[in-house]
């Protein structure tokens, strides 16, 4: 299944991560969207986001996770 930022979906969910610097916020979107975990990740300087589209039954659901600087 192609996963494009512009692809149509039935539902869109957004979550914003806030918290102290250095606690692992940036690894959550990476793990969710790419199934990766990096011990050497760099601090977030600006807002970044990751997304993933999944199919549940006949519905397409897009979830976006926004990562903020701590």
Q: pLDDT (tens digit, 9 = 90+) per residue, 20-51?
A: 988 888 898 889 889 988 888 788 888 888 99
C-alpha 35/C-alpha 32 separation (Å) is: 6
- Among 1-5, 7-11, 53-57, the range scoring the smallest mean pLDDT is 1-5
User: Domain extents for the chain?
Assistant: 11-67
Q: Which residues contact 44 (CB under 8 A, 6 or more apart)?
A: 25, 26, 67, 68, 69, 70
- For 28, the 3-state DSSP assignment is helix
Q: Is the pLDDT of residue 1 over 50?
A: no
């Amino acid at each position: 299944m192609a996963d494009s930022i512009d692809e149509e979906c039935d539902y869109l969910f957004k979550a914003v991560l806030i918290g102290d610097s250095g606690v692992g916020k940036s690894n959550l979107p990476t793990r969710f969207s790419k199934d990766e975990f990096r011990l050497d990740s760099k601090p977030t300087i600006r807002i970044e986001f990751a997304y993933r589209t999944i199919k549940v039954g006949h519905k397409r659901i897009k979830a976006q996770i926004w990562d903020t600087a701590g």
